Structure 1
Amino acid sequence: MRLRLFTDPEYASPVNQMHCAMLIPFLGKEESAFWSEGTNVFDAYKANGPGYFELADTMDDAQFAVLPSTWHRYLADGTTEVALQFAQKAADAGKQVIVFHERDFDYKFPAPNALLFTPTVEGKRRSNEFGLPAWVPDHMSGPAPLREKQQSPSIGFCGQVTRPRVKTRAIQFARTSLPRLSERRMSGYSAPLRKSYRYKFLRAKAVQTLLDTPGIDTQFLLRGDFFAGANKKTSADAKTEARQSALEVFLGNLRDCDYSLCVRGVGNYSLRFYEIMAAGRPPLFFDTGCVLPYDGLIDWHKELVWVPEDQHDRAGEILLAHHRGLSDEAFVDQQKRVREVWEEWLSPDGFFRNFYRHFQPN
């Protein structure tokens, strides 16, 4: 089903006139992050997007309006009034406006006709909020080599882990318990940090839980900084080299393990989740009330090794039970299935190919 969309580049953020991912095949100038810039992340969607959407010449001829920049871009640039003017223009025409957020914090879009696609929702989900994948490259240009089942499951993790100390505990208390410090403000729109800081040490707890579970081969590379500190390098060349080195170590950890640990970060989602899926490795997924893409169509509890929020301390037992319950053939098949789900639903091309399904009756 091909959707007819209307947008107006004149309403892009005037400070940084970059466009949301949906509009890349038509307008280009995408907003990208350092982990995706200059990669193959949007190649397939750029080629196929005109088969999924067409741009209408007028708002009246369209099924939906699309905010040209991401909501994060307007917030960061201090140009939110431009976004709200476009939303009002759509409302005056009787149209809903599709808004993409694409960043960590749960910033709401304050227009009643908005359909907000966001990777992170803290707390209760609103009826107009939908899960959005993180746009990650196909780093290996295909899944990691298939692994054969061993008696003991191996699980990897390569990334930043914050351990509880006196100072970090004090910050956690302030953010979760003191009203004036429990929300973050940007351009007048608030997003609560209370939930985020509740989970500040969840990764450290998850790592320790798995280390303490007999029968699991843990292959953990724990970092003290995001991206192994690559972003702290002073020169651009040194930063690029350090990022590439960190990425290669991360991908090697994925290749060498049966499963990969997936726990939320600052936002209530995980960039790592999408990288794990693209690599064809089943995530051990710690649920924190995350809103995952297409959750009305995909039974994520069955697709992932799911650790319910009230059973985080049983993660090791859950992984062992899952692994022992698989035949040799089923163990291989789950790797193929994970990659298939990423290709069909979570990659930029797969996500936008199925985008019309958000508006079909369940």
Structure 2
Amino acid sequence: MLKIYTEKTFLIPDHRRYVFPMLLDLHYKKSNTISESYCITDRIKEANIIILPLEYNYIRNLESGIKSRYLVLAREYNIPLWIYTGGDFGYSFNAKEIYNFRVGGFHSKLHANTFIMPSFIVDPYEYTLKTQFYPIEKKNKPTLGFVGHAQLSVIKAIKEFLVYLKVNILNRFLKKQHLDYQPFYPSSIKRATILKKLKRSGSLKPNFVFRDKYRGGARTKAENIKSTFEFFENIEQSGYTFCLRGVGNFSVRLYETLAMGRIPVFIDTDCRLPLDWKINWSKHMVYVNSSNASEIEQSIVDFHNKLSPSDFKDLQSKNRVLWQTYMNRNAFFKEIHDVFKP
């Protein structure tokens, strides 16, 4: 069991949404799975790990020097310091004592001490569709699904660039937040450009719903429920789902597709995936390292043609099991425990 030292005075309801993810299950929900692997100690001399209790940029606003204070303790007691950097961009640390937990970033630029977390989502079958998982049959043509923000327009490009400037100038360069640099990436335009070409494909059966706003502009609870249902229904009806990064260099849709027990078409934009020392990701998805539509199309067709009807159904079941086994907080941090256990 790993003993964790952190300041529980920060673990109050007002800060709950910013808590280091594993502490949600250790301190708030009292998960038996996590409690078998971790416990919190008030004595740092007994600790194996020290954890900054809240998301890095959020806690900096509460106490500007807290990271330095924790780093001093980590060095004094020769124990690792875990820090959670949230948001689309994340932040990298140079100190060898720091282990960084984040959801995205560029693999070629991330330190070895960086752990990519999955996007922790609830089970869409249980909470949205209210039904049970079942694998769909293989068809001659692969069905490629997508519901989401994808729009080709000059106005949209300008809006995305203004948001980019806000993050990189107002937040990053003025040091309102500590963020890694990312080049401009108009994600909705990139998606629209690729998908409109794939829609004309004779080798695929496209099942696309383009939205010009996030969640289709839903504002009310009923509209949110409807848009979420349509999103997961599309994944359920499609053997494959198109997964390209958003503002940050990661894809939440990847994990949503796995949760639905379908096959992601993952466009690699120099991503690092969770538990890559444990999971052979190429066996669970169409893995494409190009944004060229014709190469994406050929990769899907080749992947689909290599699968027998039983293989196709079996892979869907395996992807659902992969999500259930590794892509929730309890399971993920159990694997992290095994990395750090004495």
1:285 to 249, 262, 266: 266
- Offset of 1:357 from its aligned partner? 3.5
1:129 to 69, 90, 114: 114
- Aligned-residue RMSD, C-alpha: 3.0
- Offset of 1:312 from its aligned partner? 5.5
CA contact (8 A) 2:92 2:110 kept: no
Which residue in the other structure is 1:259 paired with?
Answer: 240
Which residue in the other structure is 1:32 paired with?
Answer: none
Which residue in the other structure is 2:102 paired with?
Answer: 118
Q: Does 1:340 align with 2:321?
A: yes
Distance across 1 between alignment mates of 2:257 and 2:8: 35
- Offset of 1:4 from its aligned partner? 2.2
CA contact (8 A) 1:175 1:183 kept: no
1:129-150 Cα deviation digits (max 9, x unpaired):
1111111111213863210111
CA contact (8 A) 1:71 1:109 kept: no
Q: One-letter code of the match for 1:100?
A: Y
Larger displacement relative to structure 2 (349-358 or 256-265):
349-358
Distance across 2 between alignment mates of 1:304 and 1:175: 30
Between the two proteins, the alignment pairs up a number of residues equal to: 334
**1:79-94 matches, cutoff 5 A:** 79-94=63-78
CA contact (8 A) 2:147 2:210 kept: yes
Q: 1:358 to 1:102 in 2, by over 3 A?
A: farther
Distance across 2 between alignment mates of 1:255 and 1:5: 40
**1:179-258 matches, cutoff 5 A:** 186-187=175-176, 189-194=178-183, 196-197=184-185, 201-230=189-218, 233=219, 238=220, 240-258=221-239
Distance across 2 between alignment mates of 1:184 and 1:159: 31
Distance across 2 between alignment mates of 1:358 and 1:134: 20
- Offset of 1:199 from its aligned partner? 5.4
Distance across 2 between alignment mates of 1:302 and 1:139: 23
Which residue in the other structure is 1:307 paired with?
Answer: 288
CA contact (8 A) 1:98 1:116 kept: yes
- Give 3-state SS (helix, strand or coil) of 2:124's partner: coil
Q: Percent identity?
A: 23
Q: Does 1:95 align with 2:84?
A: no
- Give 3-state SS (helix, strand or coil) of 1:357's partner: helix
- Offset of 1:288 from its aligned partner? 0.4
Structure 1 residues without counterparts, runs of 5 or longer:
29-42
Q: Does 1:10 align with 2:13?
A: no
Which residue in the other structure is 1:23 paired with?
Answer: 23
2:149 to 160, 181, 195: 160
Structure 2 residues without counterparts, runs of 5 or longer:
none
Distance across 2 between alignment mates of 1:357 and 1:340: 20
1:141-177 Cα deviation digits (max 9, x unpaired):
386321011111111111111425266169659969x
- Offset of 1:106 from its aligned partner? 2.6
Q: 1:50 to 1:190 in 2, by over 3 A?
A: closer
**1:159-178 matches, cutoff 5 A:** 159-165=148-154, 168=157, 172=161
1:85-130 Cα deviation digits (max 9, x unpaired):
2233222222211112232113224644210011111351112211
- Give 3-state SS (helix, strand or coil) of 1:191's partner: coil
Q: 1:182 to 1:215 in 2, by over 3 A?
A: farther
Which residue in the other structure is 2:138 paired with?
Answer: 149
TM-score (norm 2): 0.86
Higher share of residues assigned helix: 2
